[in-house]
Amino acid sequence: MGKLESRNIEKYFIHDGKPLKTLDGIDLNVEDGEFVCIVGPSGCGKTTFLRIAAGLEKPDEGQILLDNQPLNNTGPDRIMVFQEGALFPWLNVQDNVEYGLKIAGIPKEKRNQISHRYLDMMQLTQFATSYTYQLSTGMKQRVAIARALVMEPDVLLMDEPFAALDAQTRDLLLVEMQLIWQKTKKTIIFVTHNVAEAVMLGTRVLVFTHRPGRIKKEFKIDYKRPRISEDENLLPYQQKILAELRPEVKK
Amino acid sequence: MKPSLLAKKIGFYAMIIIVWQGLDSADIWPDNIFPSPVDVVEDLAYGVADASLFYGIGTSILRLIIGLTIAIAGGLVLGIFMARVETVNQTIGSLVLGLQSIPSIAWVPLAILWFGLTDTGIIFVVVIGAIFAVTINTYTGVKNINPSYIEAARNMGAKEGQLITSILIPAAFPFIISGFKQGWAFAWRGVIGAELLFSFLGLGFLLNVGRQLNDVSQVIAIMLVIMGIGILVDGVVFKKIEDKVMTRWGLR
């Protein structure tokens, strides 16, 4: 029994009037505190799987269990960080970060206290009153991560959150993400198409097949942290994963 | 406003007044048909002196505010319902589009029959004139919301009611504000039009009085007041709100 369990998840989409199988029996057991990265070719259903885990989409077969309880709706126990952040432009940074707490009816003083902690962790304190149009893409993703962490979810679901960042900003956030994970001991499922990113972050990396998505192979990454992108000792891991991934991308 | 732009505008309006005065001095038309700018200003001054002008403006604006407030509240509710419940859109939605094509002035006979020559009748015309513009813009705004906003909010635990106030309305606000602006424009036309026909206080009533007294300068004076209020609301109130919304929502 793991923290989050996926049992035989299948999903179809309607394409040109015909059902198209997108996920083909995803069986996965994520242990408490694990950092699982999913890599796969585009269109392999990795984002769909994450959305099903978040309860934003329903599977056609199978179920998701959290602490052994089957789930069929979305909720703050599994918070999703979206690819483009999905920050609310009408709220400033602090109000964005506090949104989920406010919805939950937590009083203002308590909210401020919690948000300050995470704004500080994400080095956003001086931007607390800024609006999203005043922030760089990297800053926006920091806010999105802070907004997710504030909810103290059981599982953090991250959908290519660093895909739109420049290389320097991404390297910085990849290191910070590891520190946050070590500090908060969160269970994280992280979807990416970038193998180097997966190897830096994951305790385990899953390779999805081309559509319909299945788990082709998984790799344990036992290596000291924080891992940095220049570390050549990570290359053999990347090469092994790429060897599995390459034929799928070409399909 | 840049000084050069301000100079251009002042020059333009000064020219209109000069040409106007010139035409009057040329004595082509009699004064009771074509008054001079001075006559019009004098008429405005009378209106100010005996406060009848302020009373007229106040009456019209009050009707406008009451009508527009009801229209905005109703339009928001209707628009959100249409956007969130497909059946409502398929049924009431088509009716709204049809009703919007009726000019608000065409509701006046019905308003008189239903409510008599009363304030309620005029406000009815204002509401019905403005509500569909607010409805349609709100609907469009809610339909165009980035789905990630709604998903993120639901993911963080927002229930449908919380979703409406904390996400749908603010996220659709750039559209909703256009709806308010259109709604106000329709409401302003509606209130003046209805007052003309109801002939029951307000700026429209003063216009009608001017016509009955053959007082062309009063008619023109009141028209200038109607235009002035329009410019003030459009160019100052709505422009400020729009600028702020567009910037904050990252639309410019």
What would the pLDDT profile of B213-247 be if each residue is shown by its tens digit? Answer: 999 999 999 999 999 999 999 988 999 999 999 88
pLDDT at B147: 93
Task: Give, to the nearest 10 degrees, the angle between helix B216-232 and helix B52-84.
Answer: 40
Distance CA A137, CA A113 (A): 26
Residue B198: per-residue pLDDT: 87
B21: in domain = no
Q: Do A80 and B152 touch (CB under 8 A)?
A: yes
Among residues of chain A, what percentage have pLDDT more than 90?
78
pLDDT digits (tens, 9 = 90+) for A112-165: 999 999 999 999 999 999 999 999 999 999 999 999 999 999 999 999 999 989
Characterize B145-163 residue by residue with b for buried, 16 or more Cβ atoms within 10 angstroms of its Cβ, and e for exposed: beebbbbbbbbbbbeeebb
**Nearest residue on chain B to A152, alpha-carbon basis:** B156
Chain A positions in Cβ-Cβ contact with residue B149 (cut-off 8 Å): 86, 88
Indicate whether B229 belongs to any domain. Answer: yes
Share of chain B above pLDDT 90, in %: 81
Cα separation, A64 vs A62, whole angstroms: 7
| Tally of domains in chain B | 1
Residue-wise pLDDT tens digits, A213-236: 999 999 999 999 899 988 999 999
CATH of the domain at B50: 1.10.3720.10
Residue A33: left if φ>0, alpha if ψ -120 to 50, beta else—which one?
Answer: left
DSSP A131: B
CB A61 within 8 Å of CB A128: no
Measured between beta carbons, which residues in chain B are less than 8 angstroms from residue A99? 153, 156, 166
Starting at the edge strand found earlier in the chain, the sheet holding A18-30 runs: A18-30, A4-15, A61-66, A69-71
Distance (Å, rounded) from C-alpha B33 to C-alpha B41?
16
| ipTM summary value | 0.92
- Distance (Å) from the C-alpha of residue B156 to the closest C-alpha of chain A? 5
Nearest-CA distance from A8 to chain B in Å? 23
* Beta strands A18-30; A4-15: pairing state: antiparallel
Q: What is the largest CA-CA distance in chain B?
A: 75
Could you tell me how far CA A110 lies from the centroid of its own chain? 27
* CA B199 – CA B164 distance, rounded (Å): 41
Phi, psi of B158, deg, nearest 5: -70, 130
C-beta of residue A112 within 8 angstroms of C-beta of residue B194: no
Tell me whether residue B187 is in a domain: yes
**pLDDT value, residue A132:** 92
Yes or no, beta carbons of B152 and A82 under 8 Å apart: yes
Residue B96 lies in a domain: yes
CB–CB of A81/A156 below 8 Å?
Answer: yes
The 3-state DSSP class for residue A41 equals: coil
Domains of chain A with CATH codes: 4-77+154-250 (3.40.50.300), 87-152 (no CATH)
CB contact under 8 A, A90 and B171: yes
Residues of chain B found within 8 Å of residue A76, distances taken between Cβ atoms: 155-157
pLDDT at residue A248, as a whole number: 85
Contact yes or no for A79/B156 (Cβ under 8 A): yes
User: Which structure tokens are listed for B63?
Assistant: 């009707």
Give the nearest chain A residue to B250 (CA atoms): A133
Asked whether residue B231 is domain-assigned, the answer is: yes
Residue B222 within any structural domain of the chain: yes
In a domain, B197, yes or no: yes
pTM of the model: 0.87
Q: Which residues of B touch A75 (CB under 8 A)?
A: 155, 157
Q: B11 lies in a domain?
A: no
pLDDT for B50 beyond 70: yes
Within 10 Å of residue B187's Cβ, how many Cβ atoms? 31
Whole-number percent of chain A with pLDDT over 70 = 100
For chain A, strand residue ranges (E) read 4-15, 18-30, 35-39, 61-66, 69-71, 78-81, 155-159, 187-192, 204-208, 215-220
User: Residue B184 sits in which domain range?
Assistant: 32-249
Provide the pLDDT for residue A1.
60
Q: DSSP character for A234?
A: G
The amino acid sitting at A72 is: N
Band (A208; pLDDT cuts 50, 70, 90): very high
In order, the DSSP letters of A75-108 are -TTEEEE-TT----TTSBHHHHHHHHHHHTT--H
